[in-house]
Amino acid sequence: MNPHPLRLGALLAALVLAAGGGWWGRAEASIHTYGRESFREVGNAFLLSGGSEGIVADGADLAAPDSSFIKFVNVTFWRNAESAESHAKMAHSTGLVQAILFEAADRDNIGGSAYGGQRSICCTPDLAKLEGCKQGEVIRRPSSDDPDWPVVVDTHFSANHLSVKLDDEEVHITKTGMYNLFFISCDPKVRGLAMSGKTIWRNPGGYLPGRMAPLMRFYVFMSLAYLLVMVVWFSNYIRFWRDILPIQNWITLVIALGLFEMTLWYFEYLNFNSSGVRPVGITTWVVTVGAIRKTISRLLILSISMGYGVVRPTLGGLTSKVLLLGLTYFLASELLDISENVGTINDISGKAKLFLVLPDAFLDAFLILWIFTSLSRTLEKLQV
């Protein structure tokens, strides 16, 4: 075998294409389901986040006749028995819960601050004088673009009832943007608040959030790109089958996994767009295939950089270290992708995912450093 630096570079180029396909964003759900989720105390309010998604306005896509809306379905608020029993049976309004829907650009129109102090969500006596808001309710200022926004839906508890149902309303979206939904109670006497039900967020073309809709087309292009690479690769693979190196069999596997992964992502998005839900099992399998592909492709790049299949038949004592790094990277990548794709309901990732991003980023950086260090040594050997 007479290796050449150009041959090494060609092998690395093929693997870089296969490794790069998974470094793109993914998606989250558009039907938000709430199962007796508890409100948390934030400042002078009790608050529960209902979701955050990008939505395309009606008419922005002329080819899609379906409307854009956010719909409340069987949303029910619950309070504890102690809070309910503190009110008389004949009392009319014994607690207020408000659903606040606003576009991200109008976020400063919610809440206020008295005399430059701490910002409050709920109207206080001082803010009632300054802002003209109603004490005990959320502070809302009309949007400069549409005075009907932010949208506020009031729901009142009656008498000493433990629960109250919000009317099944449908809010039509007339402006493309990132929308946020919060359920807020400003009544300090309403304790132990929880909520059940669901909200449906729909774009003109289906249930995919606006930020994710282009990704379905992206996966079509990626599937075609992988198919083209596979055709070219297999034609040469068959043509020169007598001269195939063991490492090239692994490259073939990586390309096949890439095509399989991109195709799975497309059909997963297609199902999600038509039904509005993402089966956990299917999404987990797609994520796992992607994690396997990324792990194998990175280990192959590292192995080739070390000279495996080019200037050395085995990695010798480095085999165990490479495999250990691969296993660690697979676990980190799998956990990160699962947290981003399986069971998530919003377009905006939570801060907790930072702890999963850091290990994955650190391992990628370590792999890149090891790859270039090994590649430099291997090229020196080839020149000699």
Our measurement of the distance from residue 46's CA atom to the centroid of its chain's CA atoms, rounded to an integer in Å, reads 26
Domain end marker among 171, 202, 233: 202
According to DSSP, the residues that pair with 352 across neighbouring strands are none
Please check whether residues 117 and 147 belong to one and the same domain.
yes
Please check whether residues 243 and 327 belong to one and the same domain.
yes
Beta-carbon count within 10 A of 4 CB: 10
pTM attached to this predicted model: 0.66
pLDDT number for residue 222: 92
Q: Which domain holds residue 299?
A: 3-26+210-383
Q: Quick: pLDDT tens for 156-174.
A: 888 878 888 888 888 888 8
Domain end marker among 202, 219, 243: 202
Minimum mean pLDDT range among 10-19, 209-218, 259-268, 314-323: 10-19
Instruction: Name the percent of the chain lying above pLDDT 90.
Output: 11
Please check whether residues 241 and 302 belong to one and the same domain.
yes
pLDDT top residue among 308 and 270: 270
Please check whether residues 214 and 363 belong to one and the same domain.
yes
Helix, strand or coil for residue 275? helix
Beta-carbon count within 10 A of 72 CB: 22
User: Of 299, 356, 367, whose CA–CA distance to 331 is shortest?
Assistant: 356
Residue 307 to residue 127: CA distance in whole angstroms = 71
pLDDT number for residue 295: 92
Please check whether residues 268 and 188 belong to one and the same domain.
no
Please check whether residues 43 and 122 belong to one and the same domain.
yes
Domain end marker among 161, 177, 202: 202
Please check whether residues 43 and 185 belong to one and the same domain.
yes
Please check whether residues 8 and 51 belong to one and the same domain.
no
Q: Measuring CA to CA, how many Å separate 381 from each of 193, 233, 283, 307?
A: 69, 28, 45, 9
Please check whether residues 192 and 223 belong to one and the same domain.
no
Are 63 and 69 in contact by the 8 Å Cβ rule? The answer is no
pLDDT top residue among 275 and 15: 275
Q: Measuring CA to CA, how many Å separate 356 from each of 52, 257, 261, 297, 362?
A: 21, 24, 22, 21, 10
Please check whether residues 184 and 224 belong to one and the same domain.
no
Residue 17 to residue 267: CA distance in whole angstroms = 22
Please confirm whether the linkage preceding 150 is cis (ω < 30° from 0). yes
Residue 208 to residue 54: CA distance in whole angstroms = 9
Domain count, the chain: 2
Please check whether residues 44 and 189 belong to one and the same domain.
yes
Q: Quick: pLDDT tens for 164-200.
A: 888 888 888 888 888 889 998 888 777 788 899 988 8
According to DSSP, the residues that pair with 73 across neighbouring strands are 198
Please check whether residues 128 and 242 belong to one and the same domain.
no
